[in-house]
Amino acid sequence: MKENENKRPEADGENKPRKQVRNKAGRFLMDYWITSREYGKDNEKRYKEQLEKEKAEGKEHKWSENEKTYLIIIILGLIALGVKYIFF
């Protein structure tokens, strides 16, 4: 292998090494996915610890805001399906 194979001539006559090609978009998406997965695991761990703590204290489980929102969306969807098939 020649020594100058990885180099290219410049306008001023110097040889500079080529830049490595980088997959910035792939790296960005992978970092986002890994970070999101870590946050999800941390949140799930905290939620389970909170449930265990409430059970140990004898408290009833309160619904979180997300659970309430999901329930409302499901109920509205079922109502919309019912209206669609009954009236239309």
Residue type, 32: Y
What per-residue confidence (pLDDT) applies to 64?
83
> pLDDT tens across 54-86, in order?
888 888 878 888 899 999 999 999 999 999 998
Residue-averaged pLDDT of the chain: 83
Enumerate the domain spans of the chain. 21-87
Strand partners, 9: 15
- The whole-number pLDDT of residue 87 equals 84
* Rounded Cα gap, residues 75 and 67, in angstroms: 12
Torsion of CA 37, 38, 42, 44, to 10 degrees: 10
Q: How confident is the model over 28-62, as pLDDT tens digits?
A: 899 999 999 999 999 999 989 988 888 888 888 78
Distance CA 12, CA 5 (A): 18
